[in-house]
């Protein structure tokens, strides 16, 4: 499972991610909708946030390269694609 420390050095870079096996349907949908087939997502920030969907967990703020979406995804629900 990924940790916040795994993503911190990637802030400012474009990365490819996939949903972990235990990911929520929300995370799976966001990745499917906005993780471009060739471009990926720009990692903007890593923080512990308290929203209804994140609930105080560590999360990464992503900005989609292909769409106008940006949003938080919980660190424990995503994996880096090598």
Q: For 7-55, what is each residue's pLDDT tens digit?
A: 999 999 999 999 999 999 999 999 999 987 767 899 999 999 888 989 8
Instruction: Provide the pLDDT for residue 24.
Output: 95
Start-end of H helices in the chain: 4-7, 25-34
Asked if residues 68 and 17 have their Cβ atoms less than 8 Å apart, the reply is: no
Instruction: Provide the pLDDT for residue 46.
Output: 94
Nearest of 63, 70, 79 to residue 23 by alpha carbon? 79
User: Could you tell me the residue ranges of all domains in the chain?
Assistant: 4-80
60 pLDDT exceeds 90?
Answer: yes
For 2, counting Cβ atoms within 10 Å of its Cβ (0-12 exposed, 13-18 middle, 19+ buried), the class is: middle
User: Is the Cα dihedral 28, 45, 69, 37 positive or negative?
Assistant: negative
Q: What is the largest CA-CA distance in the chain?
A: 31
């Amino acid at each position: 499972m990924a940790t916040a420390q795994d993503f911190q050095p990637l802030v400012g870079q474009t990365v490819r991610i996939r949903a972990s096996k235990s990911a929520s349907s929300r995370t799976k949908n966001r990745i499917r909708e906005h993780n471009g087939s060739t471009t990926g997502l720009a990692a903007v920030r890593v923080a512990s946030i308290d929203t209804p969907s994140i609930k105080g967990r560590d999360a990464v703020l992503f900005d989609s390269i292909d769409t106008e979406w940006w949003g938080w995804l919980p660190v424990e629900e995503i994996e880096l694609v090598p």
